[in-house]
Amino acid sequence: MPLVVAEPADACGGQLRTSAAGAAVLVVRGNCTFTDKAAAVQASGGAAMLLYDSQPGGCITMGFEPNATAGLTLAAVSIPHELGLRLLGLAAAAGGGAGGTGEAHVSLRRVSVPLVDTGAVLLWVLAVGTIIGGSLWGGLDHLAHRRAGEDQAPLIRAAHKPAAAETVDLTPKAALAFVVLASCMLLLLYFVLNKAFFYVLLVLFCIASVQSQTVLYAAALGQLLPPARRNAHVQLPWLGATPLTVVATLPLAVAVAGVWAVWRNSSWAWVLQDLQGVALMLLVLRTLRVPSLKVAAILLPACLAYDVFWVFIQPLLFGGGESVMVHVAQGGSSGEYIPMLLRVPHFGFGGLGGYSLLGFGDVILPGLLLAYTRRADLDLALLPGSSGGSSSSGGGGGCAASVQQALKASYFPYAVVSYGAGLCLTYAALAFSWFGDQGQPALLYLVPCTLGTVLALAAARGQLGLLWRGAHGPGGRAGDHDSDAGEESALLGLGEWRA
């Protein structure tokens, strides 16, 4: 069908100034409702309306009141800003211009979009895998730290005692302050997120990425080296004695961050962005901790309220405008995706492009609770009389019974399953547009699933008070154990994964 550029460009005013019989009409967003634009195009004889945003970004959702589309029979299609500009150029080159048909033609086809996209599945695997990895890594550190404090294990204490600055415990006040700070940062990004400020974020992200990648790669390399070389150091100018593993892996981390920063808008750049994001989140889950279920029960509902407010409530308070959070997630006026999210292409969308997105907070915040349940499982297994610390008899039956008993006494496996289920609920909410088309606050589904599961299990087992106070640590147990960090490593099959 012929391509027509609307005149006026926004198709507001009730009628186009030129005929568009049987044509696809290119319309820019703004100044009137989507249904008013569609009615004007149809009144001029248009067969389709191609709506693009006036600001850089992807497709916009055309919202409208119930029954507002009565009488409209044309096709209304939302297209990205960049595609709209390309079509404007094609129309101008063909001699169409504003209000003219020229020689430019377009065709529309309806693409069958799968209910479950392969990209969304990969994003689910990345999120769940990151939480599992970060929780297990933090669990190894936690157990090594406990062993380092035991008088009956001086060799382990000397070899594995972590530095005091390696972990930071959140307090209830800090949990609430985090939500206030996050809101302030969100507003700051909303008002100042232009191209220049984006480059500031880009530099900060790359610095954090290099640090987290180096820690991760150095820890992995340390497991591949012979024991005698794991703690080797080399003398560097201005830096002094530096671990050999850090010297060997730092160039790789810098290369990954640099290549991504330069080619971040390439079709393959999402792989490097997600690699950096996973490394950063693993380090956060290793070092930032909630010390008790009480702190988690304050932090997560507060963050849920923050998420729901900025996605659902804030647009209603300000006249049904755009969500601040959605605006920031799409990069504002910078025309770039902010780097603090996981991004996977829509592989199954028939070449339509676009990405499945998941913010770091939707992984880290529930991940703090899951990492806590992993540490709690390790502590509870070492309590006097706990079945988790006893050895089982040999044979396949004894092993199966031991695994079954461990599952009955654990929290972490159930928390992982609940997080995965919550993420599936988030996908369902997006697919079926629960509560509207303006995006979904993932924490609305993740927090009840994860926190609710842990609270219910703790209450059913009579351990709610113990976990609520975080009283399952060294102060609440006897000091007689049979396992050590090496046994934990053998159980996980991962070795001591440390920097």
Residue 422 near residue 453 (C-beta atoms within 8 A):
no
SS3 category, 105: strand
For the chain, first and last CA: distance in Å? 62
What's the CA gap between 143 and 484, in Å, rounded? 8
Residues near 401 by beta carbon (within 8 Å), at least 6 away in sequence: 392
Residue 380 near residue 311 (C-beta atoms within 8 A):
no
Residue from 296, 298, 278, 304 nearest 440 by CA: 304
> In this structure, how many other beta carbons lie within 10 angstroms of the beta carbon of residue 345?
19
Cite the active site residues: 307, 362
Structure tokens at 231: 């703690």
Residues in the chain: 499
Strand partners, 88: none
Residue 15 near residue 114 (C-beta atoms within 8 A):
no
Structure tokens at 110: 């309806």
What's the CA gap between 47 and 24, in Å, rounded? 6
Q: Which long-range contacts (CB under 8 A, 24 or more apart) does 205-208 make?
A: 205/276, 205/339, 205/340, 206/257, 206/258, 206/260, 206/261, 208/280
Buried b / exposed e along 375-407 (16+ C-beta atoms within 10 A): bbbbbbbbbeeeebbeeeeeeeeeeeebeeebe
Residue from 199, 194, 191 nearest 334 by CA: 194
SS3 category, 225: coil
What's the CA gap between 72 and 157, in Å, rounded? 75
